[in-house]
Chains A and B, each alone.
Chain A
């Protein structure tokens, strides 16, 4: 029997959104406890939706998250459209993809540069990097601001967008706005992404070399690296319709966490950039494929720390894809036709919206009555789906590091890094807001 004892208690892990604790107890080499405790109160969004009408659902659910509000709005309007049989035109579908790309870009840039890079450079935040890496910090801010601008121009607002509604948009972008975004992507985002590649080439070797295979789940369709629409694809069982999302989530509770957890075909599952990459990497655009190769990311990849590299590869892909969508829209010409204000409820119905948001696949399901009011709602967010997987990774990582004789402080730091690699949005997963900023 080993004589290793560990007592790790990271109370309120920093640089993640919301409150989570890491608790590890090992006695004489036996792992007695290895928990990711979520300590935030539930938020009851699903209950708030009951009785609300079809025009309000996406406005309410947008408030689930201040970072991926566009994702929640998109999943919400998709669920309403599926339930009430509202069809989108080709143009309006392309715009949905473009708006989601704006959010993916701003969220991934924030995560890779502001939350993960400090770990790789062994500093507590970006502030110590300013004297030595000012150009990198400026680049990060520039990329985030321009991704925000893209959302502003397309959706009316970066956070809690106002133009996206069931059946289309209240306001469609003009040709001038699309040209402005195209110019920004070409002149700023592409060169900044190439510069980021060089930065990451220097930083990526500091990512822990850890591997644990799990079930990867993400959207998949025949046409593209799926973000907006598709089947739910699992690396264990293949494709199924979004209508079967409950079979791919199976929510359950553990007593030390206020957030529900999910599993599908094994003990845990992973969603997010790495899962999407493992499922869709063949559909990446050329520059993104090249960037993945240069950073050593190859499907299937079982190292959760490589999620951060996959996020950057997705940044490059979304820039390339956005340019293609904009060119197509410019060629077609934008039809300025706002969404319908009155619709036929056809007796109501149930619909599922499944959308890839920065942290993984997001499900909204609504049931409407014949007056267009919600009678039942369910939202399953990516962090909830990842929690069990993070904990399984933690257990494997602790055993591996103990086996290699690593000191407790290094194990504790690596566990925090692991949690941050998933970019968890704990507030969303328990459905909260008040944050204690602990350094």
Chain B
């Protein structure tokens, strides 16, 4: 049986580049994807993302990540990388951030394969739309998502 793969976007489109995850997800909705791939917009509640991670075999999470790199920089991260990233630039909107949520799911015994595609934002202030640097990174993000779906 094909693996249950979830592509999960986290972020708030009303906070500029924080909306990159949902923006990528919208592009993916218009594309042909295998039947075993589900798309989830977890919005601003990483704990909601965890519910979806828990029943997946593989979760690919797309989120803006403060990495002190140039805007639009893309990193393929594993959960063990995320903790470090989260500690250096906490940008969760809720009590449990994505790093804590993933740690929780792993600690209680769920072992899906987790990949996080982090995109360095330029602006996460109150604004609609993505910066040019982040918007131009989207094709590469989608390519990376497709590679993860296929691998």
Contact = CB atoms under 8 A, between A and B. Distances in A.
Most chain A C-beta atoms within 10 Å of own C-beta, residue among B50, B95, B97, B108 = B95
A159 B50 CA distance: 14
B120 interface: no
A436 B90 CA distance: 6
Interface string A88-113: 00000000000000000000001000
Contacts of B41: 157
Contact of A110 (B12, B15, B42, B47): B47
Interface stretch (A133-141, A234-242, A320-328): A133-141
A138 B108 contact: yes
Interface in B82-102: 90-97, 100
A275 B126 CA distance: 35
A114 B45 contact: no
B31 interface: no
A16 to B, nearest CB: 8
Contacts of B47: 110, 114, 144
Contacts of B95: 14-17, 114-115
Interface residues of B, number: 30
Given A130-B107, A137-B104, A437-B90, A159 B43 contact: yes
Contacts of B91: 434
A148 B94 contact: no
A369 to B, nearest CB: 25
A113 to B, nearest CB: 11
B92 A145 contact: no
Interface string B97-120: 100100111011100000000000
B14 interface: yes
Nearest to A137: B108
Contact of B14 (A63, A134, A138, A145): A63
Interface string B33-58: 00000000111110110110010000
Given A134-B108, A433-B126, A66 B92 contact: no
Given A137-B104, A141-B51, A141-B108, A159 B45 contact: yes
B104 A141 contact: yes
Contact of B51 (A130, A134, A145): A145
A159 B104 contact: no
A248 interface: no
A253 to B, nearest CB: 23
A230 B3 CA distance: 49
A141 B50 contact: yes
A214 interface: no
Interface in B6-33: 12, 14-15
Nearest to B44: A66
A127 B96 CA distance: 11
Nearest to A110: B47
B48 A433 contact: no
A114 B96 contact: yes
Nearest to B50: A141
A97 B94 CA distance: 26
Closest 7 CB pairs of A and B: A66-B44, A145-B51, A437-B90, A159-B43, A130-B107, A138-B108, A433-B93
Interface of A: 14-17, 63, 66-67, 110, 114-115, 125-127, 130, 134, 137-138, 141, 144-145, 148-149, 157-160, 427, 433-437
Interface of B: 12, 14-15, 41-45, 47-48, 50-51, 54, 90-97, 100, 103-105, 107-109, 124, 126
7 contacts: A16-B95, A66-B43, A125-B100, A137-B104, A149-B51, A159-B45, A435-B90
